[in-house]
Amino acid sequence: MTLDVAHHISEVTRTVGTRTLESGEARVLTASRVYPTDAADLWDAVTNPERIPRWFLPISGDLRPGGHYSLEGNASGTIEECDPPHRFAATWEFGGQVSWIEVRITEEGDGQARFTLEHVAHVDDDMWAQYGPGATGVGWDGALLGLALHVADEAAAMPDDLGAWAASEEGRAFYGASSAAWRDASIAAGTDPAEAEAAAQRTTAFYTGVEAG
């Protein structure tokens, strides 16, 4: 796989914010990208259990409101709302923690549609200080990249061994650029630039296994 890393990173709009829930203050990460396909096809790509594994992860479960889903080797949760072909909302349960995702699909005209993902989570202050939004955001960037490859060519796919790819020159470039992009979003949200940079470097090292020099 040969990627134009700068192109794929620049195609994503990233924001960082907060929201007050009944259970307390939560962090909100939003990632959005326009894809060269219509809303109906994009909705099918992100909800069809036969297509999801081609760009993300194998999925099982009951993909209906109230149903429980499981992503192989990753998160599971409950689908709370679904309004096809516009949006769905679900819990995101991973590592003993529960957070929430919402996916929205909107027409952009000229045969294009926008995918917007919002991830709301209670994050420990120490963990946030250590890794910042990139801890989760970089993973979502990988998903948006996989979706882009799938929309462009349904036969294309991310590498089977993502760990090996992450340590490759191309993988390091992608994850480093993604971490930097989330660093910038964090700074725009008010984080001290030096703290945001340090968190981004730790996040890049986490994903690539290579410490910053």
**Would you kindly state where each structural domain of the chain is located, as residue ranges?**
5-208
Q: Which residue has the tokens 């203050």?
A: 25
Rounded to 5 degrees, what angle do the CA atoms 124, 213, 177 make? Answer: 65
Which two structure tokens, joined as six digits, stand for 158?
A: 């991310």
Which pLDDT tens digit goes with each residue over 111-144?
A: 999 999 999 999 989 999 999 999 999 999 999 9
Q: Rounded to the nearest 10 degrees, how much is the dihedral formed by the CA atoms of 120, 125, 126, 131?
A: 40
Whole-model pTM?
A: 0.93
Which pLDDT tens digit goes with each residue over 61-95?
A: 999 999 999 999 999 999 999 999 999 999 999 99
Q: How many CB atoms lie within 10 A of CB 55?
A: 21
Nearest to 8 by CA among 168, 199, 166, 147: 147
Q: Distance between CA 119 and CA 113 in Å, rounded?
A: 20
Homologous superfamily (CATH) for 5-208: START domain (3.30.530.20)
Percent pLDDT > 90 in the chain is 85
